[in-house]
Amino acid sequence: MCLAVPGKVIEVEDRDDTRMAKVDFGGVVKDVCLAYLPDIAVGDYTIVHVGFAISKLDEASALETLALFESLGIMDEEFGDQWGRAAAEAGAERPAGTESVA
| Single pTM value for the model | 0.69
In this predicted structure, the answer to whether residue 95 has a pLDDT above a threshold of 70 is no
What's the pLDDT score for residue 66?
A: 79
Q: Is the dihedral of CA 27, 29, 33, 39 positive or negative?
A: positive
Percent of the chain as helix, strand, coil, to the nearest 5 = 25, 35, 35
Alpha-carbon dihedral angle through residues 65, 70, 71, 74, given to the nearest 10 degrees = 100
Answer whether 68's CB lies under 8 Å from 18's CB: no
Answer whether 76's CB lies under 8 Å from 38's CB: no
What is d(CA 10, CA 90) in angstroms, rounded to the nearest whole number?
A: 37
Percent of the chain with pLDDT over 90: 43
So what's the architecture of 5-90 in CATH?
Roll (2.30)
